[in-house]
Amino acid sequence: MRPLIIRRLQAARGDPDARLYTGPRGGRISTAVLRDATHWDDVTRDLGYEHLRRHDLRHTGLTWMADAGILPHILKEIAGHRLITTTQRYFHPDVLRILKAGQALTHHLEKLQRDGQITRHW
């Protein structure tokens, strides 16, 4: 991938507004062009995933990056969102991560209680 992108950057000749990849008519790549070029409908049907949309992969990718520790404001830039609240709607933590977060909070509160920093029982 890296050599391909380097060649595209060189072809842009330093123009910050140049598109690295263009559609068949030289403009932006539309979702229809991308769908056709990747044979999305055929591939998902053959795999038995007709319900899967390309945009679902965007949600998955941003969730994985968030789970890897990439900060939300960086993910906002990667996704090209104007608002961080839009980016946050893309995060879908799995049930195990939610359970682990609850356990971490419980352990923290128990430690505070043992150390006498809180006296209230929950």
pLDDT of residue 55: 84
Query: Per-residue confidence at 34, pLDDT binned at 50, 70, 90?
Result: confident
State the residue for tokens 């356990």: 103
118 within 8 A of 109, measured Cβ to Cβ: yes
> What phi and psi values does residue 13 have, to the nearest 5 degrees?
50, 40
As a whole number of angstroms, the distance between CA 12 and CA 6 comes to 10
As a whole number of angstroms, the distance between CA 23 and CA 35 comes to 12
Q: Encode pLDDT of 85-110 as tens digits.
A: 999 888 887 778 888 989 999 999 99
Q: Encode pLDDT of 11-30 as tens digits.
A: 888 787 777 777 888 777 88
pLDDT of residue 111: 93
Q: How far is CA 77 from CA 54, 59, 70, 93, in A?
A: 20, 15, 11, 20
As a whole number of angstroms, the distance between CA 48 and CA 25 comes to 33
The pTM for the full model equals: 0.54
Residue type present at position 46: D
pLDDT of residue 43: 93
